[in-house]
A and B are shown apart, each in its own frame.
Chain A
């Protein structure tokens, strides 16, 4: 009796899990499949049908109309730039906060951590007038600086956590062997921290790539737009009737994330969880 009950409950849970997986993944699959359909296939066939052939015309059209191509490039530049900058700035900063000896380090640490509790919206309006007076709007560098500054508190939390796990003896031994502080950081500590840096990088990728509010506020020239803003514009001007190119445009925005997730899911999950817990 209890064996039978056991089998029934196992079947139910497997069915439920499969159902959940379908709900979570099928819409994304549908998006990719639809981006390969011709206009005829989209209008005449059922929404559940498969594309008749691998047809990349929609991608060509999305890329060349409505700034999707240029905004993809802009987003790549801003995302890559902020990923580089966050490592260059946050790693030495966190190192100095945890391992070096100076008076203000506790205060400076809590000063930067305070930034985690602030909703972006609160600083947005003065930030815009500041950028506006300095002529920093419509600038990719301006966006890179913003993306880096707003990821700094969280990245510093992750990195100081890492540095606290590094034994002081290791650093002291290196110093006794005659390493300068730059050599300690570059040659001794840096090679140990690939995991933490990967987490910081994936987190930075997602906050920059997925950003809407900053790019929408700071960028008014269509040629300088990033991908998420361009996607909204694209839907407004082309996507109402021509679904094919719109699906391709959405796929262009989604595929880099999916590819990254395929290889780095561990870091992305860790980064996103840390990001959510902040505040």
Chain B
């Protein structure tokens, strides 16, 4: 037994390809990224050790500040709306739909699986005003809300809203699913006990079910934090970060800095900031929920 399950040759054969692939393409670049942060220029061309210049630049970089603010607005609104809508719609499906719950859920999940780039290009046409009206402007035109007919993605005032609406549309199905699975797993006796005690439906939802769903809310928050902080595909394909820097996100700024301006060192610092953001907020969420559970 030991001979077969401890077969050294087989273990090497089974594990080495995976370990080598992971080490070369994920681990080494990751570690390497930190050493890049102390250099300016491009490796092989004009790579120079510049001590902490890249880190100092972070504090005076106005574009970075804009992208971080954009990102924060995006995370709060998109994340908040996804969680609230996801929860409400999951409740609606659970209590309002008698037959075909699975079908409804699967249909609402379709936007989640579609390629982000194709979705963004599609929304570009939905928001379009020239050469002809897209779906949204046609709708406003048809119902007589002419003041809403505008170039949604071309105006700095509305570009962020356009991006946010699109990403809520794209991902809310995921949160519906997460909450729905949480709701159907709730023990039924606590709801019944509350009902016998004379609690109203509203009280059952707020006092019994929501507290029981706390782990699900925590999971949903972590999903949206990790997804929203590094958002890249959708703003690139919808607005390209524009107009100006109205919808520019840190990940795009990092990409442009490294690959369009050839500043690999500063780009790596920006990448590090994205990593820290994700880690920090995940930690905060974990902390908040742990304290509440301890109470």
Contact = CB atoms under 8 A, between A and B. Distances in A.
Interface in A77-92: 88-90, 92
B95 A13 contact: yes
A239 B130 CA distance: 12
A188 interface: no
Given A241-B131, A279-B222, A125 B258 contact: yes
A115 B134 CA distance: 41
A122 B274 contact: yes
A187 interface: no
Contact of B5 (A89, A128, A181): A181
B154 interface: no
A133 B44 contact: yes
Given A102-B6, A112-B22, A121 B232 contact: yes
A69 B274 CA distance: 35
B44 A92 contact: no
A181 B10 contact: yes
A93 B237 contact: no
Contacts of A124: 29, 255, 258, 271
Contacts of A112: 18-19, 22
A250 B237 CA distance: 12
B126 to A, nearest CB: 6
Contacts of A100: 5-7, 10-11, 14
A65 interface: no
A127 B115 CA distance: 24
Contacts of A30: 126, 135
A243 interface: yes
B178 to A, nearest CB: 7
Interface string B236-263: 1100000000000001001100110000
Given A17-B96, A125-B267, A269 B109 contact: yes
A273 B233 CA distance: 19
B93 interface: yes
Given A92-B13, A119-B230, A150-B25, A181 B4 contact: yes
Contacts of B36: 125-126
Q: What is the predominant secondary structure among interface residues of chain A facing chain B?
A: helix
Interface stretch (B53-61, B63-71, B116-124, B191-199): B116-124
A158 interface: no
A243 B125 contact: yes
Interface string B3-32: 011111011011101110110111111101
A195 B248 CA distance: 40
Nearest to B43: A129
B233 A47 contact: no
B284 interface: no
B5 A47 contact: no
Interface residues of B, number: 94
Contacts of B271: 119, 121-122, 124-125
Contact of B173 (A24, A117, A146, A235): A24
Contacts of A13: 92, 95-97
Q: What is the predominant secondary structure among interface residues of chain B facing chain A?
A: helix
Nearest to A227: B115
B112 interface: yes
A10 B33 CA distance: 56
A258 B110 CA distance: 8
Nearest to A75: B115
B254 A21 contact: no
Contacts of A121: 230, 232, 251, 254-255, 271, 274-275
A172 B229 CA distance: 47
Contact of A277 (B10, B21, B126, B223): B223
Nearest to A179: B4
A228 B232 CA distance: 13
B162 interface: no
Given A272-B112, A279-B278, A253 B15 contact: no
B209 interface: no
A95 B236 contact: no
Nearest to A99: B5
A157 interface: no
B52 interface: no
Interface of B: 1-2, 4-8, 10-11, 13-15, 17-19, 21-22, 24-30, 32-33, 36, 43-44, 89, 92-93, 95-97, 104, 106-118, 121-126, 131-135, 138, 142, 169, 173-174, 177-178, 181, 219, 222-223, 226-227, 229-230, 232-233, 236-237, 251, 254-255, 258-259, 264, 267-268, 271-272, 274-275, 278-279, 282
Given A89-B18, A246-B125, 18 more contacts: A14-B97, A21-B108, A42-B132, A47-B133, A93-B15, A96-B14, A101-B5, A102-B11, A121-B275, A124-B255, A124-B258, A126-B28, A145-B21, A181-B10, A210-B117, A261-B113, A273-B174, A278-B226
